[in-house]
Amino acid sequence: MESECMGELIKEESSTLIMSQTFTEFKNYLENMQRFGQVVTLLYWDMETGMPKNGFDRHSDALTYFSTEEFKLSTSEELKEYLRVLNQPEELEQLDPDWQFIVKKMYRDIERDSRIPVEFYSAFVAAQAEAGRAWQEAKAAADYHIFAPHLKKMIDMRREMVSYTDPGKEVYDAFLDQYEEGMDSATIDRLFEELKTELIPLVQKIIAVDQPDDSKFHRFFDVDAQKKVQKLLLEYIGFDFNKGAVGETEHPFTLNFSSQDVRVTNHYHEDDPICAMFSAIHEGGHAIFEQNVNPKLDGTVGGSCNYMGIHESQSRFYENVLGRNINFWIPIYDKVQELLPNFRDITIEEFAKEINHVRNSFIRTDADEITYCFHIIIRYEMEKAIFREGVSVEELPALWNKKMQEYLQITPKNDAEGILQDMHWSDGSFGYFPTYLLGSIYDGMYRDTIEEELGSIDKILKEGRIKDITKWLNEKIHVYGSTRLPKEVIASVCKKEVSAEPLVRYFKEKYVKIYNLK
């Protein structure tokens, strides 16, 4: 009996030793993968922010090589074996909850991603780079025909990608699930239809009344001064420059190497400083999320948040719920006027009216927070038309213009302010656009919860305590990274199922007051 017990003890210790050794080797493997990821991210950052035009071919070649090598590591038999061992119940239960999530998610992902042929993946990365360059040229020339063949290639390749990763699944729902796991078009259709029903008549009422004079906002504003305002705004909302940097690009974006290195970009217009201000706040919201993920999760699938609706909820919460509230600006408006001298004859009341000026406009990133909803619905319906209705690439500009007229009563005068304005389709990000509006829907729910737990948002902002809200978001959402699914985040933070009602109520309360609607 004693001999049998000793044997069992040795066996148990051996199993623990194997688990520990496997786990250590697994973590070392992830660190090596992360090194390749660092190179890929750095190449992308440089291609967007600093690379001269003639450097494209060499950069694209390097990006394709390192992306392919990273992909090989992420789908290798060696990694699959680590995950198979660690996914065994007796091994899994010895890991903490975060690592259990990481192992289970990676095991599921590798089963999916390893079905993608390496040669196809390499060709896809190269095609993305070419499409991105073609999009930039097409937008600059306002000529969709330059981009059209590249767009068709991305559509075809993304279809093929899904045939490997999600065989048997409807293509567009597969895209949606990749960007906001657990989300499908039936749910989005319900939420978006509710918004259309409520917001179309609200916007019509607003457009019908007298609009504020915006002439003061269309004159020369020094770009260097705008960059100083950006720094002020980023620091004010909680962006940590010890863990972050800024760059300049055609289309603003945020990327991260880890929670300790998160970068944002912006684009500046000499005759429109408000655009850069709100891009700074928007991208700052993304970056604050990434900077406050638990560093323990860096370099894993639990780290950088991969649920784009949740991510967009943070950027759009800062940009709209906070940034378009006059109380956000009360503590800092004198500093803005100091940095932008042309603002000295603009009162804070005039500024507040302008940043909440509702108007049908062509450019999504410049849209007010209500009509922005229609910009996303248009793109969502366009993507469904491509992948479910078989609308051809050649037909897309006309369909775009038709939908702009339907929802916004305006028609773009050229492709640059129409179908070419966004970069997302150039890298095959189909299914991404709906997450912007999902983010706004989540924001209505966060707003209610914050007011229940912290008190009046107006009062918090007016007193310059915006970082109290940032801290609340850090603790409730950011620290968890990707370790909770979107529906789990909403259930945990708001204690409710996803609903568009809070967002609609927020819009009605705010804009009925601003525009004195009956």
User: What pLDDT band is residue 251 in, cutting at 50, 70 and 90?
Assistant: confident
Q: What local confidence, expressed as pLDDT, does residue 1 receive?
A: 40
258 inside domain = yes
Residues 159 and 209 in one domain: no
Residues 213 and 154 in one domain: no
**What residue has token string 């499908």?**
184
- Please tell me the total number of residues recorded for the chain in this structure: 518
333 inside domain = yes
Residues 113 and 202 in one domain: no
Q: What local confidence, expressed as pLDDT, does residue 518 receive?
A: 77
Residues 313 and 279 in one domain: yes
Residues 354 and 230 in one domain: yes
What is this structure's pTM?
0.89
Compute the CA torsion angle 90, 91, 96, 98 (nearest 10 deg).
Answer: -120
**What residue has token string 């250590």?**
24
224 inside domain = yes
Residues 159 and 205 in one domain: no
Rounded Cα distance, 90 and 94, in Å: 7
Give the whole-number percent of the chain exceeding pLDDT 70.
Answer: 96
179 inside domain = no
Instruction: Taking residues 364-392, report their average pLDDT.
Output: 96
Residues 421 and 366 in one domain: yes
DSSP 297: G
Q: How many CA atoms lie within 13 A of 317 on its CB side?
A: 31
Rounded Cα distance, 115 and 64, in Å: 19
Give tens-digit pLDDT for 188-236: 999 999 999 999 999 999 999 988 888 999 899 999 999 999 999 999 9
Say which CATH number the domain at 209 has.
Answer: 1.10.1370.30
Residues 418 and 269 in one domain: yes
18 inside domain = yes
Q: What local confidence, expressed as pLDDT, does residue 3 receive?
A: 39
Q: What local confidence, expressed as pLDDT, does residue 366 receive?
A: 84
Q: What local confidence, expressed as pLDDT, does residue 275 receive?
A: 92
Residues 27 and 128 in one domain: yes
Give tens-digit pLDDT for 156-180: 999 999 999 999 999 999 999 999 9
Domain stops at, among 169, 196, 212: 169
Instruction: Taking residues 373-386, report their average pLDDT.
Output: 98
Assess whether pLDDT exceeds 60 at residue 15.
no
Residues 318 and 251 in one domain: yes
Range of weakest confidence among 200-214, 278-292, 328-342: 200-214
Residues 116 and 240 in one domain: no
Q: What local confidence, expressed as pLDDT, does residue 14 receive?
A: 42
Instruction: Taking residues 6-35, report their average pLDDT.
Output: 68
Cβ neighbours of residue 400 under 8 Å, at least 6 residues apart?
378, 382, 412, 418, 419
The structural domain count of the chain equals: 2
Q: What local confidence, expressed as pLDDT, does residue 310 receive?
A: 97
Q: What local confidence, expressed as pLDDT, does residue 8 receive?
A: 42
Give tens-digit pLDDT for 478-513: 999 999 999 999 999 999 999 999 999 999 999 999
Contact status, residue 300 vs residue 323, Cβ threshold 8 Å: no
Rounded Cα distance, 362 and 278, in Å: 17
| Active-site residue (options: 91, 180, 283, 381) | 283
With H, G, I as helix, E, B as strand and everything else as coil, classify residue 449.
helix
User: What pLDDT band is residue 16 in, cutting at 50, 70 and 90?
Assistant: very low
176 inside domain = no
Instruction: Taking residues 349-378, report their average pLDDT.
Output: 94
Residues 333 and 411 in one domain: yes
Whether 93 sits among the annotated catalytic residues: the reply is: no
Q: What local confidence, expressed as pLDDT, does residue 171 receive?
A: 96
Q: What local confidence, expressed as pLDDT, does residue 210 receive?
A: 87
Give tens-digit pLDDT for 65-110: 999 999 999 999 999 999 999 999 989 999 999 999 999 999 999 9
Q: How far apart are the first and last CA of the chain?
A: 87
Assess whether pLDDT exceeds 60 at residue 19.
no
User: What is the span of the domain harbouring residue 54?
Assistant: 2-169
Q: What local confidence, expressed as pLDDT, does residue 87 receive?
A: 94
* Average pLDDT for the chain: 93
> Measuring CA to CA, which residue among 292, 320, 237 is closest to residue 475?
292
Residue 27: what residue type? K
Give tens-digit pLDDT for 297-313: 999 999 989 999 999 99
> Measuring CA to CA, which residue among 468, 452, 471, 449 is closest to residue 460?
468
Rounded Cα distance, 416 and 382, in Å: 17
Q: What local confidence, expressed as pLDDT, does residue 7 receive?
A: 44
